[in-house]
Amino acid sequence: MKLQRTYIDTSVIGGCLDPEFAVWSNGLLSDFGAGRLKPVVSSIVTAEIANAHEAIQRQYAEFLALEPEILEVSLEAIALADVYQRRRILTAKYYDDSLHIAVATVAEVDVLVSWNFRHIVHFNKIRQFNAVNLAMGYKPLQIFSPREVTTYDAT
């Protein structure tokens, strides 16, 4: 069975240390460790983590021990993120969020996972990102929160 390539953004790593999100973020990392999902991140996550609190940096180091696929930001992804900006899906202030979507789209990951409900895991934003993706010849990107993706069951 092919593993689902699951791109996580920085919020998932931070979520491991947040009482509101820890159960689901850590459950997702457990799924990676158990081989149920294939972890994928990008150099954007690495750069964002470099500026994060030390505890988040330690959490990311533990995540890297799971040997995720690490995607680089390509010119193709930058061009796609620029289209998202021109379409005003997100403002320039949130360009890195656009890049997360674009990198994952260009790499044809199976799902992007985030706790960013304002700019990424948002019904209208997902529709807008995928409208651009389709118009530009890419597949739609599935976007969910860790709670919807992890096999962990808190019940």
**Choice among 2-11, 25-34, 91-100, 146-155 with the minimum mean pLDDT:** 146-155
Using the 8-state DSSP alphabet, how is residue 92 labeled? G
| CATH classification number, 4-149, choose in 1.20.1080.10, 3.30.70.120, 3.40.50.1010, 3.40.50.1370 | 3.40.50.1010
Q: How far is CA 123 from CA 20, 58, 116, 128, 141, in A?
A: 21, 32, 12, 9, 12
**Band of pLDDT at residue 1, cut at 50, 70 and 90:** confident
What's CA 66's distance to the chain center, in Å? 16
Q: Where do the structural domains in the chain lie, given as residue ranges? A: 4-149
Q: How far is CA 95 from CA 23, 32, 154, in A?
A: 29, 28, 34
Phi-psi sector, 88: left (phi>0), alpha (psi -120 to 50), beta: left
Q: Whole-model pTM?
A: 0.94
**Gap between the Cα atoms of 51 and 145, Å rounded:** 23
Structure tokens at 18: 């947040």
48 in Cβ contact with 41 (< 8 Å) = no
**Mean pLDDT of the residues in the chain:** 96
The pLDDT tens digits of the residues spanning 68-108 come to 999 999 999 999 999 999 999 999 999 999 999 999 999 99
